[in-house]
Structure 1
Amino acid sequence: MLVAWQDSLFEAHRLKVFIFRLDLIDPHLGGNKYFKLLYNLEEAKQAGKKTLLTFGGAYSNHLRATAAAGQVFDFQTVGVVRGRELAEKPLNSVLDFCVQAGMKLHFVERQAYRQKKQEDWIANLKKEVAEQWGQSFSDFFLLPEGGSNAAALKGCAQIPNLIKEKLQADFQITAPDFILTPVGTAGTAAGLFVGKEPQTKIIGVSALKGGAFLYQDARQLLEAFEKKYATFQFEEASFERDFSLWLDYHFGGYAQKKPALMQFIAKMETQMGLSLEPTYSGKLFFAFYDQIVGGQNPFPRHSTIVLLHTGGLWEKK
């Protein structure tokens, strides 16, 4: 699951670079979604909920993973999809998978979708879902967009320790100096911050254009985690020192592809046999390599760096 990334560029800067292959956990439930769903599913079971309701766009990794989890762990699932116009079009490969796995898709207008955190809108949504598919869908366990909440952080907080164990066992390295992850809703990055070693810094690469708001989202998630579990104390000084985001590698916005990105992904496939998708992990790996080859290398010599491959490797149409 942990592999070394050998490159003469890294050797020149005396960097030890590794890839943590979360994509290998499971073809449908793998990647960071496994960790984000782990304790959410546990809480849903404990609460006696039979239905999971969550949100996402047309190519949402989270919707796909939730649908797969519902099929495996015997939950009904409802996916609230951004874009009512999509209801009149053929389903893409992600949404088709969701339907085949048993998920009910509820398409909403894009403007209405922005209200997904408002209690009155959720109450109306609950009524709409119950009217469309029956009363059994009205008593649902609510998962936020991307699955990012305090329970998701609890799951993702396990990842740094898994990395540490593999580094020690396979490479005799005590802990990484940096862990890099793609960022969409900041849940994974915030969870890594919770579970990291004191000497480790977390760097997130935003898949979104204009992602500066993700700093505040991460803070709010960490504060919610502190309030819910009382096993973590949020400190602003530590957050500012050890948590950072790279905001300039979105390639035009979420799910946008540019030739430079696709050429880099193809190069990784050819040279390393490593498959990357362009929405999240592809941008992360490109950003990391570009930071070093571009001359601005932010990593001190002799740093140990781990990049998360967060999965998402399925065909998109």
Structure 2
Amino acid sequence: MTRLDVLQPRLPSPVQEVRDARFGRHGVRLLLKRDDLVHPELVGNKWRKLVPNLAAAAGRPVLTFGGAYSSHLRATAAAGRLLGVRTVGVVRGDELADRPRNPSLARCAADGMRLHFIDRSTYRHKADPGTLAAILTACGASGAHVVPEGGSNAPAVRGCRALGEELRARADVVAVACGTGGTLAGLAAGLGPGQRALGVAVLRGGFLTGEVCRLQQEAFGGPRGDWRVDDRFHGGGYGRVSPGLDAFAEDFGDRHGLPVERLYVAKLLHALLTLTEDGAFPRGTTLAAVVTGRPFP
């Protein structure tokens, strides 16, 4: 049995109030839920989603999926190193196999993760039983515990419920950036009466509302909590960071002494400021923004 105590987290993660006149002039109070401080290597929601899956793996190899800059792949690789568990990362884009490793994939490999590259068409069908079986065979990982892209499945959603519970009675609206929907699904289930969860999509497609519904059905047997997804702030798609968003993140970090991760956290904070300035939140509203990551070197 794998000993998970080496992944000891800092829980509950701290809640930090941010004094920002751009919110204050609209009568809105901003809190940051510092999940980026949960664990030095399994940052934020990655710890909350991965640990239940690692417990289910019970020492078996873990195979999971991600893109070339996936923070989920990095966290899984780090967990494998810390626990002495073999990990396999299936990476979207077979053309990447012939390129020099970017810093993110290089970190995965340094942590002992075996990287397996597949073409984008196959990647889109990775959940099909036949395709998945072929991938497992090609990776020599037929007995592995499979974790979906982003770590979002029923155990992960149940793990993220504690995030909402930690914020009960702390805020009126709790917002989180969404890639695969698992964190929002669990967060919403953990909040108390009268609280709302807001998911800010960081990629195009408009599919996240359906995904959150599906994940809550798998995890809890039906819908939980008051939540919605806003699809307007992805900035062109996953990994797209405009000069304007980059400048916003740099400015926010300078104002508040917080290095702002660009792919998720910057889009979340920018969305909350835009919504505040548009009058989406009544005066007296307390917002809590979940900081799910930190900049990767």
- Output aligned runs, 1:62-77, within 5 Å: 62-77=72-87
Give the conservation status (yes or no) of the 8 Å contact 1:37–1:152: yes
Q: 1:44 aligns with which of 48, 53, 57?
A: 57
> Take 1:129 and 1:35, find their aligned partners in 2: how far apart are those partners?
27
1:163 deviation in Å? 2.7
Residue 234 of structure 1 pairs with residue 229 of structure 2: no
1:280 matches 2:264:
yes
Helix, strand or coil for the counterpart of 2:69?
Answer: coil
Q: Which ranges in structure 2 are unaligned for 5 or more consecutive residues? A: 1-13
- Other structure's SS at 1:199 match: coil
SS of the residue corresponding to residue 203 of structure 1 reads strand
C-alpha displacement of 1:13: 2.2
Q: Is 1:218–2:183 an aligned residue pair?
A: no
Q: How does 1:252-291 map to 2 (within 5 A)?
A: 252-291=236-275
TM-score, length-scaled by structure 2: 0.92
- CA shift at 1:39, angstroms? 0.9
Q: Deviations over 1:180-218 (max 9, x none)?
A: 0000000001110111112111101111022x2110000
Deviations 1:214-270 (A, max 9, x none): 10000000000024xxxxx526xx6xxx21112111111101110110010110121
Q: Deviations over 1:34-73 (max 9, x none)?
A: 101121111111xxx4200000000001101000111112
Q: Which residue of 1 aligns with 2:191?
A: 196
State whether structure 2 residue 161 is matched by structure 1 residue 179: no
Number of equivalenced pairs: 284
Cα distance between partner residues in 2 of 1:159 and 1:40: 17
User: Aligned equivalents of 1:7 and 1:127: distance in 2?
Assistant: 53
Tell me, yes or no, if the aligned pair for 2:259 and 2:294 is still in contact at 8 Å: no
Q: Matched residue of 2:27: which SS?
A: coil
Checking the alignment, whether the CA contact within 8 Å between 1:175 and 1:197 is kept in structure 2 is: no
Higher helix share: 1
In 1, the alpha carbon distance for the partners of 2:34 and 2:258 equals 10
> Counterpart of 2:11?
none
Larger mean CA deviation between 188-197 and 4-13 belongs to 4-13
Say whether the 8 Å CA contact 1:276–1:313 is kept in structure 2. Answer: yes
Cα displacement (A) at 1:27: 2.7
Q: Once superposed, which parts of structure 1, at least 4 consecutive aligned residues long, lie more than 3 Å away?
A: none
What is the root-mean-square deviation in Å for CA atoms of aligned residues?
A: 1.3
Q: Retained in 2: the 8 A contact 1:182–1:280? A: yes
- 8 Å contact kept, 1:14–1:303: yes
Q: Does 1:4 align with 2:17?
A: yes
**Cross-structure match for 1:303:** 285
Task: Indicate conservation of the 8 Å contact 1:20/1:309, yes or no.
Answer: yes
Task: Compare CA radii of gyration and give the structure with the larger one.
Answer: 1
Cα separation, 2, equivalents of 1:176 and 1:3 = 12
Structure 1 residue 116: deviation in Å?
Answer: 1.0
